[in-house]
Every structure is written in C-alpha cells, then in structure tokens.
Amino acid sequence: MTIFEATVESLKQHHVPTWFRDAKLGIFIHWGLYSVPAWAEPRDINKIVKDEGWESLFRNNSYAEWYLNSMHFKGSPTEEYHRKTYGADTPYEKFAEQFNLEAQKWNPTDWTTLFKNAGAQYVVLTSRHCESFALWDTEVEHPHKGLYRAERNLVGELTNAVRDAQMRMGLYYCGGMDWTFEDDSVIRDLPDVFGKMPQSKAYIDYINAQWRELIDKFNPDIMWNDIGWPRDSDPKELMAYFYNNTPDGIINDRFAQAGTHQNPNIGDGVISNPLPEHYDYRTPEYTSFSDIQTDVWETCRGIGHSFGYNRAEGDDHYLKLDKLIHLFIDIVSKNGNLLLNIGPAADGSIHPIQVDRLQKLGEWLQINGEAIYCSRPWQRAEGKTTDGTDVRFTQKDGNLFAILLGTPKENEITIEDLEATPNTQVQLLGQDHPLKWAQSDNGLTIQVPQNYLHAPAHTIKITNIG
C-alpha cells in the first residue's frame, strides 16, 4: 500500500477511485444556522454583477447560506428582513438555540431513503459552513466561541445512515472563509473573498484540528473543501493524512492557498476556483462543458437557486424536471458527475418541490440508469436527430447509448451520423423487444414504439454499432 507524503510528487500517485467515476450522482446538503431564517431576496447574480457590480452582489446576496455576511450591510434586503423579523439587536448566534431545538425532529433515515430512491451514490454534507457552526460533536474549541457546535452529532448520524444505505459519505468544510474570526470579516467586494481569509495561527490550528477530527471520527470518502486555504498552512499535509487513512478517498480542487492565486470568476452562472497544487477532481458550479473532459469532474448546483433553504424562493426559482434530467445527462456524457444540492429547513424537512424532483429523477433512473451508472464518454458527447431532437451519447460494456433529450413527435427517428453494422441491435430501455432499424444516408433510422410514453428523456441502447 502506498504511503503518501506531503509533497506534490507523492500525492500525484493517488488516482481517482473507480467508485467515483461510476457514481455519477451525489446529493449535496447545505444545513446550518442559516436554515433558521432561511431567507435571501431571490435575484439573478449574473445580472447584478453586470448591471451593478460586485459590491452590489454581496450586498444583495441571493444565497440564503450567506445570511450572516449579508445582514451586516446596513439597509440591505437581508438586514431589513432580520430587523423586522427578529429585531436589530438579535445576534446571528441566537439562531443556534432554535436550530438545536428544531434539529431534534430530524430523522436521518428519511433523508437517506429519499436520496437512495433518487439514485444517488454518494452524499456530501456541510459539516461547517462560513458561519463556523459545527454539525458534529467536535472537541476543538472555537477560539472566540468555545465549543460552537450542534447538540446532536448530525454528521455522525447521517454518516451512519448513508453507509447503512450503501452510499458513500463526503464532508464539506469551509477552510478558507470564516465570518467569526476577524474584527471585520464582512465580504463586501470580490477581492475580499480571499483578501479577508483568516490567517492567524489560531485559525490555522483550528481548521487543521477540525479536519483531522472529521477524518478520524467519520472516515469520509470525500474531502470537499471550499473557498481556499490560509497561506501559512500547507494543505498537502492534510491531504496525505487523509489518503493514508482512506486510500480510495477523493479530494476536490478548492484548497488553493491565499496569496498564490487570482480571485474566482463568476459568469454565466459559473464560479471557477483557482487551482491548488494538488487535487483529484474539478468542481465548477452551475455549469456543464461544451466538450468531453479528459479528467473526471463534478458540477454542483441547487435544485433551487440558493444552496441553503430559502423560503423566499417560489416555483419559478426551482429547476424544472426536464431541465434537471437534461443537465444530468449532458454532464455524464462529458465525463462528469452531478452533485445536486438540497437545502433542508432547520428541522430537517425538505421542501416538497425538492422532494418531487429527487423522486422523479429516481424514477427516470430506474428505467435509464443502465446508460448512466458506470458509463464512460463515447467518441463524441453530442448529436441530433433529423427532426432536431438533441442527443447525448454514453457507452458501457461495448454498448452505445443514445439518449434523446425529449420525446419524439413521430414513430420514426433518424440519429444523424451513426453507422450500423449487419449485427447491430437496437432497444429502447424500459422495453424488452428490439426495435427495427435501417441505415440511411443521414444516419441510423429507428422505428420507435407507438406507445412511446412522454418523459424528459429516452434511451436507445445500440449494440454492435459501427
């Protein structure tokens, strides 16, 4: 067994485990004190940046999990909401009392049953967000707040339930940002994101001790860090410690040290992070790529706009089912995974629209999962039918899967630029009998069933393609 050392050369000997390449779907969970107020004014972040600038983005932040930062802007939507709802003198830390009370109602098995039925293969929980409140029985004291933690060991209980359900468990930890350590930690503009990263020895000791504690207590399969890492602490030491404890674990790409990189970029709904010296996989947000990526990657996004639960979001802010399934297929066809976020309320309840999306995604995967799980990209990801229906391709075990992003209007379709052989067989997943086909000048023409059910996407399995 490889013994990893805290050097780039040693860490590069670690390879992305097969389980992660095969998994395709994970569930992200943003849960913390921000789940008590659960509020932000929904706005288009790209439009804010374009029309009003970065300072306006943070002042009018539409992510509910940023409540603590947003409430410090005098006259901001969040500050006004907090003042009217809780009183101007009510500190954010007061939410811990209600969170602990509400979290007593939570049943982790309810979550894992939902996630498993949705087709998820792994789960990533925010063990500690930028607010610094820990969701496990940490023994590491916050230098300013003592044992700042939940009363229930939420991380431990969920970890056990996830593994009982035969899924992998990952832990999110915000190592690069903490709104409770510095006198002025408010993020007001883009340079503040890394410019106000805590750099004190007390902070470095704190986050290193908590990450090691998470590894020792829960043996996570994924280290999902966020925002970056202090410049005077070497994350490679932590990475080697993790690999030596969990050889088939995996580390994301958000450990870049302050002062060694440029600020992140946000555009077209995409947040791209500067890269650290070592990582296993990329984690862009709210995006896919136009082409197949050589290395495995993972996009994360909410079912709603906000990651944390936002009671101000209505139906229009949630991802429609067809767009969710099409996005998922597109990501998989390009060698990626989807980490789909849900934002529970403080009591652990999940909004009915989020539940509905997960349930219906699971129903689709029960029929079409053969084309998704353990699949790999084909020679190209994208295609079309002659009637204009978009197609995405995956392959597995010598079979090509052509996934139609929509329901054909006719009972004959032609997938452009596909060449069959005399031994080619064609089948619609969900039906047992083969489909008739013929080679045409435009591609592969297939007779689809008369009783073609409407669904967001349909998979045609093609064996012995040319």
pTM: 0.96
The pLDDT value given to residue 411: 87
- Percentage of residues in the chain with pLDDT exceeding 90? 87
Angle (CA) 222 336 401, round 5°: 135
List of domains in the chain: 8-371 (3.20.20.80), 376-465 (2.60.40.1180)
> What's the pLDDT score for residue 46?
85
Helix, strand, coil distribution of the chain in percent, nearest 5 = 30, 25, 45
Instruction: Look at residue 327 and tell me whether its pLDDT is greater than 50.
Output: yes
Question: Mean pLDDT, to the nearest integer, of 24-51?
Answer: 95
What's the confidence (pLDDT) of residue 273? 64
| 344: Cβ contacts below 8 Å, ≥ 6 apart | 29, 31, 35, 106, 111, 309, 350
Read off the pLDDT of residues 334-348 as tens digits, 9 standing for 90 and up. Answer: 999 999 999 999 999
Rounded CA separation 300/253 (Å): 13
Confidence band, pLDDT 50/70/90 cuts, at residue 332: very high
Q: Quick check: helix, strand or coil at residue 453?
A: coil
The whole-number pLDDT of residue 45 equals 85
Instruction: Pull the structure tokens for residue 381.
Output: 């990801």
Q: If you average pLDDT over residues 3-21, what whole number do you get?
A: 97
> CA nearest 337: which of 351, 322, 327?
327
Please answer whether residues 17 and 250 qualify as being in contact, where contact means their C-beta atoms are separated by less than 8 angstroms. yes
- Terminal Cα-to-Cα distance of the chain (whole angstroms): 42
Please state at what angle helix 154-164 crosses helix 201-218, rounded to 10 degrees.
30
3-state secondary structure 95-149: HHHHHHHHHCCCCHHHHHHHHHHHCCCEEEEEEECCCCCECCCCCCCECCCECCE
**Span 250-305, pLDDT tens digits:** 999 999 998 654 445 444 444 456 899 999 999 999 988 999 999 999 999 999 99
pLDDT at 260: 57
Residue 77 · residue 41 · CB < 8 Å: yes
CB 64 within 8 A of CB 344: no
pLDDT digit string, tens, across residues 134-143: 999 999 999 9
Note the pLDDT of residue 272: 56
User: Is the model's pLDDT at 306 over the cut of 80?
Assistant: yes
User: What pLDDT does 268 receive?
Assistant: 40
Q: Are 218 and 180 in contact (CB under 8 A)?
A: no
How far is the C-alpha of 370 from the C-alpha of 374, rounded, in Å? 8
At 347-401, the pLDDT tens digits run: 999 999 999 999 999 999 999 999 999 999 999 999 999 999 999 999 999 999 9
Q: Using CB atoms within 10 A of its CB, is residue 147 exposed (0-12), middle (13-18) or buried (19+)?
A: exposed
Regarding beta strands 420-428 and 458-465, do their DSSP bridges make them parallel or antiparallel, or are they unpaired? antiparallel
Query: Cα dihedral sign for 29, 34, 39, 40?
Result: negative
Interaxial angle between packed helices 108-118 and 352-368, expressed in degrees from 0 to 180 and rounded to the nearest 10: 40
- Per-residue pLDDT tens digits for 158-196: 999 999 999 999 999 999 999 999 888 999 999 999 889
Confidence grade of residue 103 (pLDDT, cut at 50, 70, 90)? very high
Show the tokens assigned to 367.
């029929």
Contact 23, 337 (CB under 8 A): yes
Average pLDDT, the chain: 94
pLDDT score, position 409:
83
